[in-house]
Amino acid sequence: RQRHSTLSSRELTQNYLPNCHLIEGIEYGAEDITILDDGLAFLSTGLKYPGLPSYSDDPGKIYSLNLLDSDLKIKALNIKGQFDKGSFNPHGISVYTDEKDGAIYLFVVNHPQGKSQVEIFRFVEGENALQHIKTIRHELLHNVNDIVAVGTESFYATNDHYFTNGILKVMEPLLSLSWSDVVYYSPQTVQVVAGGFSSANGINISPDKRHLYVSNILKHKIRVMEIQKNTVLSHVKEVDVGSLCDNIEVDRESGDLWLGCHPNGLKFMLSDPNDPPGSEVIRIENILSEKPRVTQVYADDGSVIIASSVATPYGGKLLIGTVYQKALICDLK
């Protein structure tokens, strides 16, 4: 059972894209990436996650990267306001644009001292800065992995574990417990809206805001749920992806899902530099149809890029981030 959930015997055939380049300056991961309509990408970097390698003691940072610039230079976003930058440990991120005034909000899962909380920032475009608006802590947000913002102060979030105690947390996947969940948060209401995940990881929403997609990582499936009301989700289906898929990005035009995946979960958990985990990008087309199309877009055995966790397309290019290593940009065929 354990071998199956981690796909521990899986070997990878290289499947490269043309014209790939590493993004200069990303050495300690870009665990989550999201791209604005105008081609500005935000990268969540420097995650320290229990049990996984971290090659820097520096606090995490959020970088911006303009994909329309030919030189592809990352810029650290300056964080303003009452915020402890020294303990910043960013994980999943999500962008929300306020219809009313066009303001762009960046929601960031943060693990200072190993805790879980959600930071809301407003993006100050002219200054390449983030203005800290508020920190959200709640007992239901206890092991937050990823987040999708649905309002200026509301979001859905995944908890990737049920237990917060170190030993129990480690035992949880070994016991194949399906106790991980999705929480809806707004200033008025906080509640668990979906459960039964054996580690819920990436979460995102369809372009029409009617369906939620959640990666049930140890089951190698993407769960699709319809949003009836904010707190009422109905189960639609689960789509098999055959890999441990981490973050989910959704193409705004086509509605396709792009997944950064761990092809061999055991190698990912061991993270041996001499036998590194590989990387895999999977795309799902027509996910709501009777026959979704699941294809592998990119695969590497770890010699180019280790432990991919996110992949997002923009303007004919694909940007791939990792949990603790590098980031890659390629041309899509």
The C-alpha atoms of residue 148 and residue 156 are separated, in whole angstroms, by 5
91 tagged catalytic: yes
32 is in an annotated binding site: yes
**Six-digit token pair at 3?**
């071998």
Query: Does 38 count as an annotated binding residue?
Result: no
Helix (H, G, I), strand (E, B) or coil at 135: strand
Set 4, 91, 161, 262: catalytic member:
91
Whether residue 247 is annotated as binding a ligand: the answer is yes
Say how far apart CA 222 and CA 250 lie, in whole Å.
Answer: 13
Report which of 209, 184, 213, 186 is spatially closest to residue 200, judged by C-alpha positions.
Answer: 213
**146 a known binding residue?**
yes
User: Which DSSP string do the residues of 277-327 spell out, in sequence order?
Assistant: --EEEEEEESTTSSS-EEEEEEEE-SSS--SEEEEEEETTEEEEEESSS--
Judge contact between 327 and 22, C-beta under 8 A. Answer: yes
Q: Is 69 annotated as a binding residue?
A: no
Q: What is the helix (H) or strand (E) element at residue 157, kind and residue range?
A: strand 155-159
Query: Would you list which residues are annotated within the binding site for Ca(2+)?
Result: 31-32, 93, 145-146, 201, 246-247
Query: Would you list which residues are annotated within the binding site?
Result: 31-32, 93, 145-146, 201, 246-247
Catalytic positions: 91
